[in-house]
């Protein structure tokens, strides 16, 4: 009897905690969505055509080095590099870092762009694995290829940083498509406030399902695959809701490794990208916050909602699982490495509010929510908790989740409006509902596994299957 | 974003949150509390209901907006040919005032848009007639009122349209736009001012650009370039002689960006300025100063400066201006331990003809990897005629 009563009490306590926790996290997301909407309306917006044209001719726009690490990207490297070279910017160079590819990536680069081993000197002082060579093109294109043994994305980025010379450094994934005007838009904050702006991130959107011609997205469509549609909704929620709000509060802790722009002197002063974590993008930004707050200098790390980078999301369940596992591990490692910021008044609102939020909700949230589902299911089955309580849990988790996702889709419709067809908006709204009826639950289980793996010290990226943009065009034509 | 704008965003967010709290409490009190006795469940369902209503409302607004926009577009497509035809005839001296007034009474937005479109594609007397038409249709007043709008987009449109009038619209509205909180509007106002080609307007635009953020200066740089000669007579020297080092730096930055050779008799003073950043920027702009006295001495003193930024700028200037007397100093800098200094010196030597190339060839054999690397890179790029130091 005593044990039975104890069990009931434990269930009640945890259930109450889980309900309050999940309800709180969704309420916070909701506030972020509202804040994001109003902040987005105040955003000055993209450069006018006349302004863009003027900037493209202006010698005052700082030069920019675009770093693109590449590992086994033979399917897409040719188009990706061509697209990067064609980006609209008055003074940019592309630095591809071949991270020990075992396929034809390096050979394709050499042949396609007529590369030769050059005497270009590395000016940076970051410690990296030794590089095999630096290559430049015989053609009048500003392409540099750094060839090195495989040592991971962070080390590759550091090697590229050593070779880069421009005051601004953009970090992109070599398999992403960046819109032609995106670099200039992302550089805008650095022109508005060159001294205080340390880093800026752009929005990452899902290219699956879109029409791609001549290395540009010509028509935005919702993907036919359900799995990809859920990810579209998820990306909208994360970028248009969360990132804008955090940027507005100068508490942005993540700039996507797929599309970020940094001051080179800042990166070098901070020591470059950390090689001991799979979340090197998040870890770097957290570190920048920490260092600049410790130095008591005014700064900003911001999210710019207009410049778009299109990326391919996983279409296979196992690839998605590996990706989410890695992201959660990366988040854990990044926060763990800077745990002294937690509840530390020295770091102001970042230490007292933002960092705890990320630890308590983003890092631990999946585990608590997963446990909530288990406890609710078991409790309901054993009749330890009442149907009303179970309903309450499902309302705050599933129903709130559906409403949040639907709000994110509408936020997109009222602001950036990339999905112009009513059919696409309808499909996304439907995906917003279905996403929370199983997919979200699966994702939080994977993220919980990622947290456990992070605690256990698991390393590694896993493989990501790519179909390539050419393959997509052929499939659509067929 | 300004503090005022940030406060506005916070207040609106709180307002929406407050509205939701009220809505939740009302729904809970009026409907759900009778059905669900558990407070938390009732409140959670009330929030869900409120959010569903909000989503349906927003969804409906979106659909209605799309439908209205499509309707406007259809109307515009129908009316556009007639409006453009009448405007074109009016511009070609066939008086269409009565018809255009009628069209304007019934479809003011369409007439406004077509007038804006046509006036940007014609010049001369035809453009003047369209400007006069805008005055007769009282569009000038309408645009001046639109400039008072809280929407940046509306204000921008108003300024652009006012600026499109001929002669250049000089009223207080345009001058007020120079103080607008939006960069884009300030830029547009400055561009309109500069279109006159008059000295006074160009000087106003230049002096205003000097105190704007880098983004504005970068955009206006090319617009100011055609006026460089006029500005070089008074406004630029005045700015360069300022006691405010920041103003001097921005003036040097613009001067260097124009890449136009101008006579600036007092320029040597900037090469000895107390602020090292001013000195460095002055050396970067040195190749664009006409008839610079004792340029070799100036460059040599720059190469011997304590500040590395100044040395780098002086080295670049030495290479561009092919200052032969700088060869020994550049050779010494090539042997510096700092990679960037060695590299800049190498690039400068690469531009100095056979003597510079000889120093580089010797440098390639140096035991110092920094020197050898810098010399090799510069030699390699000289062989393919790429003398510019990548990183500027």
Q: Is the pLDDT of residue A477 over 70?
A: no
Identify whether the C-beta of residue A121 lies closer than 8 Å to the C-beta of residue B374.
Answer: yes
Residues of chain B with Cβ-Cβ distance to A142 below 8 Å are 390
A250 touches chain B (CB under 8 A): no
Distance between CA atoms of residues A173 and A83, nearest Å: 12
Chain-wide mean pLDDT for chain B? 88
Give chain B's count of helices (H) and strands (E): 23, 0
Q: Mind listing the pLDDT tens digit for each residue in B52-79?
A: 888 888 888 888 888 888 888 888 888 8
pLDDT of residue A1: 55
Q: CA-CA distances (angstroms) from residue B73 to B68, B76, B104, B105, B113?
A: 8, 5, 17, 19, 12
pLDDT of residue A468: 53
In chain A, pLDDT over 90 holds for what percent of residues?
Answer: 57
pLDDT of residue A174: 85
Which of B17, B62, B219 lies at the smallest CB-CB distance from A414?
B62
**Helix, strand, or coil here: A89?**
coil
**Helix, strand, or coil here: A246?**
helix
pLDDT of residue B38: 80
Least confident of A392-401, A462-471, B294-303, B364-373: A462-471
Distance between CA atoms of residues A12 and A385, nearest Å: 7
Chain-wide mean pLDDT for chain A? 89
Chain A nearest-CA residue for B157: A48
Least confident of A203-212, A469-478, B322-331: A469-478
Q: Is the pLDDT of residue A474 over 60?
A: no
The answer to whether the Cβ–Cβ distance between B218 and A191 falls below 8 Å is: yes
pLDDT of residue B171: 67
DSSP A356-421: HHIIIIIITHHHHHHHHHHHHHHHHHTTSS-HHHHHHHHIIIIIHHHHHHHHHHHHHHHTT----S
Q: Is the pLDDT of residue A321 over 50?
A: yes
Residues of chain B with Cβ-Cβ distance to A137 below 8 Å are none
Residues of chain B with Cβ-Cβ distance to A394 below 8 Å are none
Q: Which span out of A94-103, A178-187, A312-321, B35-44 was modeled with the highest average pLDDT?
A: A94-103
Residue A114 DSSP symbol: T
Q: Is the pLDDT of residue A30 over 70?
A: yes
Q: Taking the CB of residue B385, how many other CB atoms lie within 10 A of it?
A: 7
A55 touches chain B (CB under 8 A): yes
CA-only gyration radius of chain A, Å: 23
Q: Is the pLDDT of residue A37 over 50?
A: yes
Helices (H), B28-138: 33-35, 39-91, 97-106, 108-119, 125-136
**Residue of A121, A186, A394, A420 to mutate, testing the B interface (most B Cβ within 10 Å of its Cβ):** A121
pLDDT of residue A127: 94
Distance between CA atoms of residues A440 and A438, nearest Å: 6
Instruction: Assign A471 a pLDDT band (cuts: 50, 70, 90).
Output: very low
Instruction: Assign B167 a pLDDT band (cuts: 50, 70, 90).
Output: low
Identify whether the C-beta of residue B313 lies closer than 8 Å to the C-beta of residue B280.
Answer: yes
Nearest to residue A415, comparing CAs of A425, A402, A400?
A425
Q: Mind listing the pLDDT tens digit for each residue in A375-426?
A: 899 888 888 888 888 888 888 889 888 988 988 888 888 887 888 777 888 8
Least confident of A216-230, A448-462, B255-269: A448-462
Q: What is the mean pLDDT of residues B121-131?
A: 85
pLDDT of residue B329: 94
pLDDT of residue A472: 43
Instruction: Assign B179 a pLDDT band (cuts: 50, 70, 90).
Output: confident
A90 touches chain B (CB under 8 A): no
Which of A39, A191, A403 lies at the smallest CB-CB distance from B9?
A39
Residues of chain B with Cβ-Cβ distance to A50 below 8 Å are 191
Q: Which of residues 313-372 of A touch B (CB under 8 A)?
A: none
Distance between CA atoms of residues B38 and B35, nearest Å: 9
Residues of chain A with Cβ-Cβ distance to B390 below 8 Å are 93, 142, 165
Q: What is the mean pLDDT of residues A273-289?
A: 91
Q: What is the mean pLDDT of residues B100-106?
A: 89
**Residue of B36, B187, B212, B215 to mutate, testing the A interface (most A Cβ within 10 Å of its Cβ):** B215
Identify whether the C-beta of residue A244 lies closer than 8 Å to the C-beta of residue A40.
Answer: yes
Verdict on whether the full-model pTM lies above 0.90? no
Here the tokens at position A90 are 């008055």
The answer to whether the Cβ–Cβ distance between A121 and B373 falls below 8 Å is: yes
The answer to whether the Cβ–Cβ distance between A35 and B66 falls below 8 Å is: no
pLDDT of residue A93: 95
Q: Mind listing the pLDDT tens digit for each residue in A104-157?
A: 999 999 999 999 999 998 988 899 999 999 999 999 999 999 999 999 999 999
Here the tokens at position B356 are 């510079």
**Helix, strand, or coil here: A343?**
coil
The answer to whether the Cβ–Cβ distance between A406 and B55 falls below 8 Å is: yes
In chain B, pLDDT over 90 holds for what percent of residues?
Answer: 43
Euclidean distance between the first and the last CA atom of chain A, given in angstroms as a whole number: 68
The answer to whether the Cβ–Cβ distance between A48 and B184 falls below 8 Å is: yes
Residue A353 DSSP symbol: I
Q: Mind listing the pLDDT tens digit for each residue in B350-366?
A: 999 999 999 999 999 99
Instruction: Assign A44 a pLDDT band (cuts: 50, 70, 90).
Output: low
The answer to whether the Cβ–Cβ distance between B219 and A51 falls below 8 Å is: yes
ipTM: 0.85
**A291 vs chain B: nearest CA distance in angstroms?**
24
B386 vs B218, higher pLDDT: B218
The answer to whether the Cβ–Cβ distance between A121 and B38 falls below 8 Å is: no
Q: What is the mean pLDDT of residues A168-193?
A: 92
Q: CA-CA distances (angstroms) from residue A177 to A187, A271, A282, A308?
A: 17, 28, 21, 9
**Which residue matches tokens 């990897």?**
B369
């Amino acid at each position: 009897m005593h044990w039975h009563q104890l069990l009931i009490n434990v269930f009640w306590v945890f259930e109450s905690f889980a309900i309050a926790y999940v309800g709180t996290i969704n309420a916070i997301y909701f506030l972020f969505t509202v804040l994001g909407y109003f902040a987005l309306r105040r955003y000055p917006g993209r450069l006018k055509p006349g302004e863009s044209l003027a900037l493209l001719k202006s010698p005052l726009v700082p030069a920019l080095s675009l770093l693109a690490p590449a590992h086994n990207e033979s399917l897409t490297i040719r188009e990706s590099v061509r697209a990067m070279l064609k980006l609209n910017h008055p003074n940019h160079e592309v630095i591809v870092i071949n991270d020990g590819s075992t396929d034809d990536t390096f050979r394709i680069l050499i042949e396609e762009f007529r590369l030769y081993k050059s005497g270009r000197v590395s000016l940076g002082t970051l410690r990296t694995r030794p590089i095999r060579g630096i290559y430049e093109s015989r053609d009048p294109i500003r392409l540099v290829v750094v060839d090195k043994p495989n040592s991971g994305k962070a080390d590759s980025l550091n090697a590229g940083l050593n070779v880069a010379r421009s005051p601004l450094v953009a970090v992109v994934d070599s398999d992403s498509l960046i819109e032609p005007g995106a670099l200039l838009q992302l550089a805008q904050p650095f022109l508005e406030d060159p001294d205080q702006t340390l880093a800026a991130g752009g929005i990452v959107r899902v290219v699956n399902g879109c029409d791609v011609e001549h290395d540009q997205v010509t028509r935005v469509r919702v993907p036919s695959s359900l799995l990809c549609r859920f990810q579209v909704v998820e990306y909208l929620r994360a970028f248009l809701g969360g990132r804008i709000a955090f940027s507005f509060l100068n508490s942005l802790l993540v700039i996507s490794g797929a599309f970020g722009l940094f001051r080179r002197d800042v990166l070098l002063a901070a020591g470059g990208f950390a090689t001991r974590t799979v979340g090197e993008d998040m870890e770097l930004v957290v570190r920048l916050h920490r260092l600049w707050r410790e130095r008591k200098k005014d700064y900003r790390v911001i999210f710019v909602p207009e410049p778009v980078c299109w990326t391919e999301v996983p279409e296979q369940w196992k690839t998605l699982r590996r990706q989410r596992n890695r992201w959660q591990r990366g988040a854990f490692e990044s926060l763990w490495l800077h745990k002294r910021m937690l509840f530390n008044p020295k770091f102001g609102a970042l230490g007292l509010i933002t960092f705890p939020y990320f630890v308590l909700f983003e890092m631990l949230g999946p585990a608590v929510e997963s446990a909530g589902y288990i406890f609710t299911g078991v409790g309901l089955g054993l009749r330890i908790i009442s149907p009303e309580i179970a309903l309450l849990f499902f309302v705050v988790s599933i129903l709130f989740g559906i409403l949040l996702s639907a709000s994110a889709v509408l936020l997109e419709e009222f602001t950036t409006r990339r999905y112009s067809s009513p059919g696409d908006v309808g499909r996304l709204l439907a995906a917003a509902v279905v996403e929370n009826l199983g997919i979200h639950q699966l994702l939080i289980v994977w993220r919980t596994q990622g947290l456990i793996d992070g605690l256990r010290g698991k390393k590694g990226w896993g493989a990501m299957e790519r179909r390539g943009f050419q393959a997509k065009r052929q499939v659509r034509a067929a | 974003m300004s503090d005022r704008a940030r406060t506005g965003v916070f207040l609106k967010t709180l307002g929406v949150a407050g509205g939701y709290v009220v809505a939740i409490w009302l729904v809970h009190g009026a409907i759900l509390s009778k059905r669900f006795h558990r407070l938390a469940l009732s409140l959670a369902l009330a929030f869900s209901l409120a959010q569903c209503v909000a989503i349906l409302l927003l969804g409906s607004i979106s659909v209605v907006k799309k439908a209205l926009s499509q309707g406007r577009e259809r109307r515009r497509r129908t009316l556009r040919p007639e409006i453009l035809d009448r405007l074109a005839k009016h511009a070609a001296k066939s008086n269409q005032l009565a018809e255009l007034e009628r069209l304007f009474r019934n479809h003011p937005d369409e007439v406004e848009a077509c007038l804006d479109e046509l006036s940007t594609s014609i010049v001369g007397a035809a453009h003047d007639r369209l400007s006069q038409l805008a005055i007769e249709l009282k569009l000038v007043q309408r645009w001046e009122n639109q400039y008072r709008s809280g929407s940046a987009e509306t204000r921008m449109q108003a300024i652009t349209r006012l600026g499109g009038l001929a002669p250049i619209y000089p009223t207080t509205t345009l001058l007020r736009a120079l103080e607008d909180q939006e960069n884009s509007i300030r830029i547009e106002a400055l561009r309109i001012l500069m279109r006159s080609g008059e000295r006074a307007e160009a000087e106003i635009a230049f002096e205003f650009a000097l105190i704007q953020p880098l983004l504005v200066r970068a955009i206006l740089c090319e617009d100011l370039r055609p006026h460089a000669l006029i500005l070089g007579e008074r406004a630029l020297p005045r700015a360069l002689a300022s006691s405010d080092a920041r103003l001097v730096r921005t003036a040097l930055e613009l001067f260097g960006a124009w890449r136009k050779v101008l006579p600036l008799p007092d320029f040597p003073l900037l090469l000895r300025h107390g602020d090292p950043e001013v000195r460095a920027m002055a050396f970067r702009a040195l190749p664009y100063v006409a008839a610079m006295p004792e340029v070799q001495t100036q460059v040599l003193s720059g190469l011997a400066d304590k500040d590395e930024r100044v040395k780098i700028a002086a080295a670049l200037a030495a290479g561009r201006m092919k200052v032969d007397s700088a060869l020994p100093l550049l050779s010494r800098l090539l042997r510096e331990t700092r990679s960037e200094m060695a590299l800049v010196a190498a690039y400068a030597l690469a531009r100095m003809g056979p003597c510079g190339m000889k120093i580089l060839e010797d440098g390639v054999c140096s035991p110092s990897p920094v020197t050898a690397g810098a010399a090799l890179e510069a030699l390699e790029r000289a062989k393919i005629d790429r003398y510019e130091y990548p990183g500027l």
